[in-house]
């Protein structure tokens, strides 16, 4: 008998069937729908955590990248799946920003999704193409002030944490850049490597390939402390913008209808994966900070982030257009 049918019988015949299905979870591969392109920071951290978490739960975790629609396509894919604990969403700041920026979503993020765990936090960087004249962030700002709206910079995606970080940086620095949104960090990294963009604001993990190939240079990082990935690169906080702190992040979400027992099991597995030395060894060189919070801790953190994000969106006039 298939699990969905057993759950239907459980609803009809009583809770023991449902309880048994929850206790036996998982009995088949679990799907993580990643709202971002393969190769970016969110995808890389999710795959690393999933590789260990699947050992812990005893079933494969299949990564499915569903980009587009400002992460709404991935969100809808999970919400349209049975709430049986076999489909989860890997998302990020879109959970906070989309309600501020999009109408007629068809669902309410706060009630439709249950936070499972924050997977990782990602320091971000401001980087330029290899032949860009500015060698420091001060020189970059000076060039931008001298020629407003001529320097292009890419972020993944529109209204994501990188975009918010870029808008806040422009407002504090008194400059105006030309924004180019991308589906994922890897896409923006490829374009700066090709010289299509002047600059990018992406994570340390996404920028590493073009930097290692000599096709890009990092000018500053957005975290409050310097990152081990680029220890010689100054932070924006120490470059004239005290208190600047705009890390990116990603997390795992379930449909709010998924049984709490399953949410707790998945959260515990991912938390253990995030503590795993091998997982950290893969992610530390990229500058990713693995988190693995509890559902309650993740939900509390997100609630604290909502007013911060709303203020940046409002003050910077960020739109998806």
Domain ranges of the chain: 3-121+249-316, 124-221
**What number of residues does the chain have?**
321
| Per-state percent for the chain, helix, strand, coil, to nearest 5 | 45, 20, 35
pLDDT of the chain, 321 residues: tens digit per residue: 344 444 444 445 455 545 666 778 999 999 999 998 898 778 999 999 999 999 999 999 999 999 988 899 999 999 999 999 999 999 999 999 999 999 889 999 999 999 999 999 999 999 999 999 999 999 999 999 999 999 999 998 778 899 999 999 999 999 999 999 998 888 999 999 999 999 999 999 889 999 999 999 999 999 989 998 899 999 999 999 998 989 889 999 999 999 999 999 999 999 999 999 999 998 887 788 899 999 999 999 999 889 889 999 998 888 876
Nearest to 177 by CA among 191, 161, 156, 198: 198
Question: What is the distance between the alpha carbons of residues 248 and 308, in angstroms, rounded to a whole number?
Answer: 14
* Cα(57)–Cα(60) distance, integer angstroms: 8
Peptide bond before 299: cis, by omega within 30 degrees of 0?
A: no
Per-residue pLDDT, 181: 92
Q: How far apart are CA 58 and CA 52, in angstroms?
A: 10
Q: Is domain 124-221 classified as CATH 3.40.190.10?
A: yes
- What pLDDT was estimated at residue 221? 97
pLDDT given at position 284:
85
Q: At what angle do helices 72-79 and 94-101 cross, to 10 degrees?
A: 100
pLDDT score for 30:
98
State how far the Cα of 160 lies from the Cα of 217, in Å rounded to an integer: 22
94 contacts: CB under 8 Å, gap ≥ 6: 35, 70, 71, 72, 75, 157, 159, 160
Using DSSP, state whether 117 is helix, strand or coil. Answer: strand
**pLDDT of the residue at 1:** 39
Of the CA atoms within 13 Å of residue 283, those in its CB half-sphere come to 31
**Structure tokens belonging to residue 97:** 């920003």
Q: What pLDDT shows up at residue 8? A: 47
Region of residue 118 (phi > 0: left; psi between -120 and 50: alpha; otherwise: beta): beta
Quote the pTM value.
Answer: 0.79
* C-alpha to C-alpha distances, 195 to 153, 200, 254, 267, nearest whole angstrom: 11, 11, 39, 41
Give me 255's structure tokens. Answer: 């449909």
For position 134, what pLDDT does the model report? 98
Are 25 and 19 within 8 A, CB to CB?
no
CATH fold match for the domains 3-121+249-316 and 124-221: yes
Would you say the C-alpha torsion 299, 301, 304, 309 has a positive or negative sign? negative
Take residue 152 and report the two structure tokens written for it. 């292009």
CATH topology for 3-121+249-316? D-Maltodextrin-Binding Protein; domain 2 (3.40.190)
């Amino acid at each position: 008998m298939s699990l969905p049918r057993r759950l239907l019988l459980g609803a009809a015949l009583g809770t023991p069937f449902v309880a048994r299905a929850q206790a036996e979870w998982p009995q088949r591969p679990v799907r993580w729908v990643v709202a971002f392109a393969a190769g970016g920071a969110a995808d890389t951290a999710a795959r690393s955590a999933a590789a260990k978490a699947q050992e812990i739960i005893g079933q494969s975790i299949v990564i499915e990248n569903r980009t587009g629609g400002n992460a709404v396509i991935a969100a809808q894919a999970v919400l349209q799946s049975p709430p049986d604990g076999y489909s989860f969403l890997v998302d990020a700041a879109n959970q906070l920003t989309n309600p501020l920026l999009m109408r007629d979503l068809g669902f309410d993020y706060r009630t439709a999704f249950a936070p499972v765990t924050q997977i990782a936090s990602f320091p971000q960087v401001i980087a330029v193409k290899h032949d860009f004249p500015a060698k420091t962030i001060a020189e970059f700002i000076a060039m931008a002030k001298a020629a407003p709206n001529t320097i292009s910079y890419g972020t993944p995606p529109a209204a994501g944490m990188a975009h918010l970080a870029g808008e806040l940086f422009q407002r504090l620095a008194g400059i105006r850049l030309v924004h180019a949104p991308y589906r994922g960090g890897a896409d923006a990294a490829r374009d700066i490597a090709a010289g299509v963009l002047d600059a990018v604001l992406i994570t340390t993990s996404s920028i590493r390939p073009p930097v290692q190939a000599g096709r890009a240079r990092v000018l500053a990082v957005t975290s409050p402390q310097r990152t081990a990935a680029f220890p010689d690169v100054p932070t924006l906080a120490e470059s004239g913008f005290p208190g600047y702190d705009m890390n990116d992040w990603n997390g795992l979400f379930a449909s709010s209808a998924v049984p709490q027992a399953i949410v707790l099991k998945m959260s515990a597995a991912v938390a253990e994966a995030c503590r795993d030395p091998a997982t950290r060894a893969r992610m530390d060189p990229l500058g990713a900070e693995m988190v693995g919070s509890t559902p309650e801790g993740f939900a509390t953190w997100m609630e604290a982030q909502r007013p911060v994000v709303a203020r940046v969106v409002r003050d910077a006039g960020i739109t998806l257009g």
